[in-house]
């Protein structure tokens, strides 16, 4: 496969994983509505988790035993509910330190069973089949999203007023609570993601 096509494949895959609504995008939206760089920092934290899992997957392969995935589902659910509470309690004053947004994204990424499962399956296959150029495209797609999405949200807040922040916070918290409840359900059912 020519280099440009390989990069484009990775770029498209990065966007396809970063764009759909989910817990990380909920927090990116909540933070990005206040200040675009805050949303981008959440995305950078989650992307760091992806990079960590990529390295671990390549070095160790299928390193996470099935028995560890079920407790991780419970932990992931607790993290999502806690993040939902934090989103609802957050003020729009922008007083929180920038590092907290990055750590929020990193924590969510490292405890998200979806991310772990993706890297152990599709991610491992993708990297081994197409090599480093697809990885460069993949992370480029994520970077484009985590910069463009918060910028667009912030422009919406500037254009339509601060009520947009409260709407985004409420929707974001709802998404986080829904994921948390779903993960609790999976845990109780004995399933994993």
> What's the average model confidence in pLDDT over 79-89?
79
Residue 87: phi and psi, rounded to 5, are: -60, -45
Whether the predicted pLDDT of 121 surpasses 70: no
Residue 77 CB coordination number (10 Å): 22
Please calculate the CA angle 110-115-117 and round it to the nearest 5 degrees: 115
Tell me the CB-side half-sphere exposure of residue 189, using CA atoms within 13 A: 10
Residue 74 belongs to a domain: no
Mean pLDDT (the chain, rounded): 82
146 or 12, greater pLDDT = 146
Residues 134, 34: Cα–Cα separation, whole Å: 33
> What's the average model confidence in pLDDT over 86-106?
73
120 or 29, greater pLDDT = 29
Residue 67 belongs to a domain: no
21 or 140, greater pLDDT = 140
Whether the predicted pLDDT of 91 surpasses 80: no
7 or 2, greater pLDDT = 7
Whether the predicted pLDDT of 49 surpasses 70: yes
Q: What is the 3-state secondary structure (H, E, C) of 106-151?
A: HHHHHCCHHHHHHHHHHHHHHHHHHCHHHHHHHHHHHHHHHHHHHH
Whether the predicted pLDDT of 130 surpasses 70: yes
33 or 69, greater pLDDT = 33
* Domains contained in the chain, number: 1
pLDDT of residue 37: 95
Structural domain of 128: 3-61+91-162
For residue 91, give the DSSP letter: -
pLDDT of residue 143: 96
Whether the predicted pLDDT of 165 surpasses 60: yes
Residue 72 belongs to a domain: no
Residue 39 belongs to a domain: yes
Asked if residues 50 and 116 have their Cβ atoms less than 8 Å apart, the reply is no
Instruction: Give residues with Cβ within 8 angstroms of 162, minimum separation 6.
Output: 92
Res. 1 pLDDT band, cuts 50 70 90: low
Whether the predicted pLDDT of 145 surpasses 90: yes
Residues 113, 144: Cα–Cα separation, whole Å: 24
> What's the average model confidence in pLDDT over 162-183?
82
Residue 146 belongs to a domain: yes
Residue 118 belongs to a domain: yes
pLDDT of residue 179: 78
Residue 180 belongs to a domain: no
Residue 18 belongs to a domain: yes
Res. 182 pLDDT band, cuts 50 70 90: confident
**What pTM was estimated for this model as a whole?**
0.75
| Torsion angle (degrees, nearest 10) of CA 138, 140, 146, 151 | -150
Whether the predicted pLDDT of 125 surpasses 80: no
């Amino acid at each position: 496969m020519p280099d440009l096509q390989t990069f484009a494949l990775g770029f498209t895959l990065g966007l396809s994983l970063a764009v759909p609504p989910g817990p990380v995008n909920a927090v990116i939206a909540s933070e990005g509505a206040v200040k675009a760089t805050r949303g981008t920092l959440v995305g950078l934290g989650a992307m760091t988790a992806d990079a960590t899992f990529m390295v671990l997957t390549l070095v160790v392969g299928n390193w996470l035993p099935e028995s560890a995935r079920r407790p991780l589902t419970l932990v992931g659910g607790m993290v999502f509910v806690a993040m939902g509470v934090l989103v609802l309690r957050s003020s729009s004053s922008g007083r929180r330190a920038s590092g907290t947004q990055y750590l929020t994204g990193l924590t969510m990424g490292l405890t998200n069973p979806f991310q772990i499962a993706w890297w152990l399956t599709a991610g491992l296959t993708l990297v081994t089949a197409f090599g480093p150029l697809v990885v460069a495209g993949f992370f480029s797609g994520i970077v484009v999203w985590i910069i463009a999405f918060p910028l667009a949200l912030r422009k919406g807040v500037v254009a339509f007023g601060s009520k947009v922040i409260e709407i985004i916070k409420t929707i974001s918290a709802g998404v986080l609570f829904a994921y948390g409840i779903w993960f609790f359900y999976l845990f109780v059912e004995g399933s994993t993601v």
